[in-house]
Homo-oligomer: A and B are copies of this chain.
Amino acid sequence: MGGDHGCAVTVPAAVSFVNRQQDAELILVGREEAIRAELKKHRALDHPRLSILHAEEVVTMDDPVEVALRRKKDSSMRVAVSLVKDGRAQASVSAGNTGALMAISRYVLKTLPGVDRPAICTLIPNQKDKPTYMLDLGANVDCEPHHLHQFALMGSALVASSEGKAKPSVGLLNIGEEDIKGNEVVKQTAKLLRADHEKGVLNFYGNVEGDDIFKGTTDIVVCDGFVGNVALKASEGLGRFFKAAVTAEFKSNPLNMLGALIARGALKAISRRLNPSRYNGASLLGLRGLVFKSHGGADAYAYEWAIRRAYDAATHDLIARISASIAELMPQAEAQAASADPSVLPAPIQ
């Protein structure tokens, strides 16, 4: 039900995905009537691997976290995440309100042992034609060094399992490469990461700068959620600016239009290479279950990528792999988990 377009995007994406992926089953959670209408439109009302689970309420994009969490207990978001908790689904995907999705996921699923705060991790295309994994993207706006430290460990575990890299490299986002640069939180974090590197449990590259995200200098870029969110959205904005400039110039006169026609293969390839849709589907990392967040403005094509990412994570048993990695990297994790009280509500998340 979530995102800017609701069922009009999520339902066709689901139909397309199950048709492409013959062993996938999807449960569409939300207002039955609206979902049925969309399924009908796409001639998939009786699809054997698509089912509907009715949920009366909808978390809106503007709902404060408290409302989503405490008042809308029958929201499609809550019901979908609960399916993961109950083992009835291997993963959950939503294009809805990020803060609400994170709070609900954290409350329903709880965090993994050793994790104080879950983080949002997304993939960004880089010049090496590989993804740069970046976290946090907005779940945590005020981070302490030990939070960033955990993000580095979680990101490392994620890339180790999803990309099959034993020791993926971790860069700490800063405003210079030198150790003396940055604010206090970043300087302290670097010390923690360097200590892990010396112990051989983490492949810490050192400080990276904003442009390194797109250079692909490291597999993972770690930052607090405020900085990560601004950097990501600034990049999205610049991407749209590029696209508008290219479109306008190639349509500016008949000669340019002819050139564009002849080189349409190049223009399509450029568009595909830079298309953020292929990278849609951020992971809510550090939870005891798989939850993926699609961009709110995603179209059906992009939303299908988010479903694909969730499917792949479930197929590769990502949670078990991350748990194992984190347990190895954080030997005290089990002890911490034993003393934590999972019945306490999480603090509100931005």
Q: 3 closest A-B pairs (Cβ-Cβ)?
A: A259-B263, A211-B237, A210-B233
User: Is A269 interfacial (CB 8 A cutoff)?
Assistant: yes
Instruction: For the complex, count residues of A whose C-beta is within 8 A of B.
Output: 68
List A residues 236-294 near B (Cβ within 8 Å): 236-242, 244-246, 249-250, 252-253, 255-267, 269-270, 273-274
Stretch at the interface among A35-43, A149-157, A161-169, A174-182: A174-182
Q: How many copies does the complex hold?
A: 2
Stretch at the interface among A212-220, A311-319, A337-345: A212-220
User: Is A347 interfacial (CB 8 A cutoff)?
Assistant: no
Quick one: closest B residue to A64, CB to CB?
A: B180
Residue with the highest number of chain B CB atoms closer than 10 Å, among A64, A210, A250, A261: A210
User: Is A79 interfacial (CB 8 A cutoff)?
Assistant: no
Give complex CA distance A240, B242 in Å: 12
Contact of A238 among B176, B214, B250, B253 (CB under 8 A): B214
- Contact of A234 with B237 at beta-carbon distance under 8 Å, contacts A259-B261, A262-B259 already known: no
Residues of B within 8 A of A173 (CB): 230
- Contact of A250 with B263 at beta-carbon distance under 8 Å, contacts A183-B141, A236-B210 already known: yes
The answer to whether A237 and B212 touch across the interface, beta carbons within 8 angstroms, is yes
The answer to whether B273 and A263 touch across the interface, beta carbons within 8 angstroms, is no
List A residues 181-213 near B (Cβ within 8 Å): 181-184, 186, 209-213
The answer to whether B227 and A210 touch across the interface, beta carbons within 8 angstroms, is no
How distant is A239 from chain B, measured CB to nearest CB, in Å?
7
The answer to whether A214 and B231 touch across the interface, beta carbons within 8 angstroms, is no
Contact of A210 among B232, B255, B258 (CB under 8 A): B232
**Given A127-B240, A235-B238, list of 9 further CB < 8 A pairs?**
A127-B244, A186-B226, A211-B234, A211-B240, A213-B234, A231-B231, A249-B266, A252-B266, A256-B263
